[in-house]
Amino acid sequence: MTSKRRPLLAGNWKMNGTRASLDQIKAIGDGVKTSLSEKLDVLLCPPVSLLYVATALCDDSPLAIGAQDCHQKASGAHTGDISAEMIADCFGTHVIVGHSERRRDHDESDDLIRAKAEAAYAADLIAVICIGETEAERKAGETLEVLKRQLGASVPENATAKSTVIAYEPVWAIGTGLTPTLADVAEAHDFIRSTLAERFGEEAKGIRLLYGGSANPGNARVLIAVDNVDGLLVGGASLKAADFLAMYGAYGELLA
């Protein structure tokens, strides 16, 4: 982690959570009401069915609430989709775009993901843009090539440190319990930083880079200590308040 950038701990609930889960969201919102929140941003992205209620529950908390996807257009005949404006209307502040599960399950292209990020900007949302290689690409030695391509095509030209977060999630590590070595994480994040710098210059120094892919309370401390890892994008471990708050607490020593 680099101290010049304010860390971000983000949770992605994916297609999990019903009204019975609201107590976990409330517990997380209450749990981050500590002095540590003055040094660390915390974000939770529940399913859209819980979005408005979650923002209301956490109105007095430093916990930010976001969504997991948005349509690239502001409105129209797009049955089942949600626009960035609708997310903002529910008081959401962030939206994840380009998660590997969207790329895989919905055949989302880099161009589409860029358009979704642009839609997020237009609605004054922060876009969390996900990139990452598959197991086959890693085995073929194509990791950095894939990251370069995805960064070039998925990140809009008008991206700024204020509007954009990049999340590196090696696809083969998501939900598998597997994680890259710390050296692999460092190599990927250093490469992402340098690639962004080539394109955005000084602005790239402020863009936060998150690591995701089986991040959990057991490995959080070592992951967040890696240079250029400015936070974590957490999947399953964000579903339970105790686990997610343990990861929040892992920043205590680092930011002391």
Return the active site residues: 99, 169
SS3 167: strand
Query: For residue 100, which of 56, 135, 148, 73 has the smallest C-alpha distance?
Result: 135
Residue 228 gets the label, from left (phi > 0), alpha (psi -120 to 50) or beta, of left
Report how far residue 231's alpha carbon sits from residue 165's, in angstroms, rounded to the nearest whole number: 10
**Residue 123 C-beta-side C-alpha neighbours within 13 Å:** 31
Q: Mapped to the 3 state alphabet, what secondary structure does 63-81 carry?
A: CEEEECCCECCCCCCCCCC
Please provide the size of the chain in residues. 256
Report how far residue 9's alpha carbon sits from residue 4's, in angstroms, rounded to the nearest whole number: 16
